[in-house]
Structures are given as structure tokens and as C-alpha cells.
A = this chain, B = another copy of it.
Amino acid sequence: MNDDFQDVTTAELAVLQALWRSGTSTIRQLARSIYDDESAAAYGTVQKLLDRLEAKGHVRRERGPTHVFAASTARDELIGRRLRAVADTLCDGSLAPLLTHLVQADRLSSVERDELRALVERLDGERKSRINGRPRS
């Protein structure tokens, strides 16, 4: 498992968020979108951040007259990595404690709790139909 995951810093995350929104961007577009500033300074900053993001494997670069960038790590992937990091450092790698913590009273709004219940029921349904109706291939 290629698990040399390198986390993303605050400034890098800002770039990544912009890419998640836009899908694809040039440095100049990112500089404008993030810093509202196209100066050489802002430009250079964004460029360096993109370099580091690429080195860490979070960004793909399409070379050309002017490079075009896209995120190669989805927000969901990042969430997962961070959750696992919490589990690893604080729960011996098990995810269950995170869940029980999240589900505990008054940490969730009633809306969130409803969503959760729906989610669990849906999962449960899937599992049942997988077991009864369609033996896994």
C-alpha cells in the first residue's frame, strides 16, 4: 500500500479548495481567486504551493504553453486520511471510537441524527439484499 500520505498545510489547502471548485485552473486564475491579486508575488506563492502539492501527489499538472492544474486528491479522500490519522494517533487505529464519539448525544443536531439513521438503515438494507438476494460474486 503506497501509504506515504503527506498532509496538506493551510495555504496548500486553500489552493486545493479553489481547484475543487473550479475543476481546473492556471496559476494566474488561482492567484486571482485566492489572493485577489495577480502580482508577481502572489503568482510565485501560488506556484510554490502547487509545486509542493504536486510533489505530495495532491495535484496533477498538465504541461503546455501555460500549465493547467487539477486536484488529484478529492475532498473526501482528504477527510478520510485525516480521520484515519486521528484514529491512528488516538484510538490505536480503530475507527469505531470516532463513530461513537460523533454519535454521542448533543454533538449532532437532530437533523444530522436523522440523516445518520437514514444512512444506517440504507446500509443495512444493502447488506441484507446482498446476503439474501444476490450472493456476492
A positions within 8 Å CB-CB of B: 13, 75-76, 78-80, 82-83, 86, 89-91, 94-103, 105, 107-108, 110, 112-113, 115-117, 119-120, 123-124, 126-127
Contacts and interface: CB of A to CB of B under 8 A. Distances in A.
A109 to B, nearest CB: 8
A130 to B, nearest CB: 10
Chain copies in complex:
2
A100 B119 contact: yes
A124 B79 CA distance: 27
13 contacts: A76-B101, A78-B90, A82-B90, A83-B83, A83-B102, A95-B107, A95-B108, A100-B115, A103-B116, A105-B126, A116-B120, A117-B120, A117-B124
Contacts of A127: 110, 113
B91 A112 contact: no
